Every structure is written in structure tokens, then in C-alpha cells.
């Protein structure tokens, strides 16, 4: 297998774990505002990111590549408000998408096993971006209306803990 592309997957594995860390810090911010639904949603998003990282770790190990764990930056702890937080999360997901597409581009025509493996992540990113993009729209409509905010918060509190997906 092409080690240069496996290195990119290793890098992305670390970025997925870093995403989990970022969402934990975001959950700490919303918990501080007593928005329990947002906190639940972000905590579950963090678990999902761990699973994304695990999928890459499992793949690397299955092809005999020993994963390397790198240093993570301390995540941002403060935001202007919840809309600012969700916009930051959306921008983060766009960056994840860019990196995943880059792996696919590098693997294309070079290693079909890697190209096929990464397809799951390409599809997943469509949903990831859509989730945050919809939240931005809803929060922009809500504005300073805390009654409407609590309706959304209640809804986000219903997100169940994710199951480990079958990847690749």
C-alpha cells in the first residue's frame, strides 16, 4: 500500500480525535449556559468523532500500519454566543471535508482499497455539514428569543448516543 496516503489517513485519524476534543470543549461552553440539550448533542457529536477516528485506526492496523498519535491543540473555550459556536463547528466540518476529499484525490488511481475505504467518510461529511448548517439557520431565526431557544434545546436533548458504525 502507498505509505504516503496511509500517512494522510493517520493524520486525519488524529484530526478526528481532535474534533472529539473540540466538541467536548463546546459542550462545556453550553453546559455553562445550562443548555442541557445542546450539551447532550455536542457530547454525542464528540462520541461520533471518536468512532470516525476509530474507523481510521482500525483500517491502518488492518493493513499493518502502526498508528502514530500526535499532539492536540487546546480547544477554544469561549464563544460570543451559541450561534458563534455553531458557525465555528460548521467551519471545522468544512475543513474536515476538504481534508477527506484530498485523501480521496491522492488515492484515486493509485490505491483503490484506500479510495474505497475513504468513500464512507465522504458520504458522512454531507450529513455532518448539513447538521451544522441547519442549526445555523435555526439559530439565526431564533435570535434573542429564549423561548424558541429552549424548544430547540429540548429537541437536541433527544439525540441518542451513537452506535459504532461499520466503516469501510
To ligand OFO, the closest distance from the beta carbon of 52 in angstroms equals 4
Q: Is residue 96 a contact residue for ligand OFO (CB under 6 A)?
A: yes
- Applying CB under 6 A, among 8, 79, 93, 118 the residue interacting with ligand OFO is 93
Q: Say how far apart CA 62 and CA 52 lie, in whole Å.
A: 16
**Cβ within 8 Å of residue 141, ≥6 positions away:** 148
Q: Is residue 18 a contact residue for ligand OFO (CB under 6 A)?
A: no
Exposure pattern of 115-144 as b/e (b: 16+ CB <10 Å)? bebbebbeebbeebeebbeebeebbeebee
**What totals of helices (H) and strands (E) does the chain contain, helices first?**
5, 0
Footprint of ligand OFO on 106-145 (CB under 6 A): 128
- Identify which of residues 117 and 149 has a Cβ nearer to ligand OFO in the complex: 117
- Identify which of residues 43 and 49 has a Cβ nearer to ligand OFO in the complex: 49
To ligand OFO, the closest distance from the beta carbon of 35 in angstroms equals 20
Footprint of ligand OFO on 52-81 (CB under 6 A): 52
To ligand OFO, the closest distance from the beta carbon of 18 in angstroms equals 9
- 3-state secondary structure (DSSP) of residue 148: helix
**Cβ within 8 Å of residue 73, ≥6 positions away:** 18
Interface residue list for ligand OFO (CB under 6 A):
16, 19, 49, 52, 93, 96, 128
Amino acid at each position: 500500500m502507498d505509505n504516503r496516503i496511509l500517512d494522510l489517513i493517520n493524520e486525519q485519524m488524529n484530526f478526528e480525535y481532535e474534533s472529539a476534543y473540540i466538541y467536548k470543549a463546546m459542550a462545556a461552553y453550553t453546559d455553562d449556559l445550562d443548555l442541557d440539550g445542546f450539551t447532550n448533542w455536542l457530547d454525542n457529536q464528540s462520541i461520533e468523532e471518536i468512532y470516525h477516528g476509530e474507523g481510521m485506526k482500525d483500517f491502518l492496523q488492518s493493513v499493518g500500519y502502526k498508528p502514530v498519535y500526535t499532539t492536540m491543540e487546546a480547544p477554544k473555550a469561549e464563544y460570543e454566543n451559541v450561534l458563534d459556536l455553531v458557525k465555528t463547528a460548521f467551519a471545522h466540518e468544512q475543513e474536515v471535508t476538504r481534508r477527506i476529499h484530498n485523501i480521496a484525490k491522492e488515492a484515486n488511481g493509485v490505491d483503490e482499497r484506500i479510495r474505497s475505504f475513504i468513500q464512507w467518510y465522504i458520504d458522512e461529511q454531507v450529513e455532518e455539514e448539513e447538521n451544522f448548517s441547519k442549526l445555523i439557520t435555526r439559530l439565526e431565526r431564533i435570535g434573542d428569543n429564549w423561548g424558541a431557544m429552549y424548544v430547540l434545546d429540548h429537541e437536541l436533548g433527544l439525540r441518542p448516543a451513537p452506535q459504532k458504525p461499520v466503516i469501510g
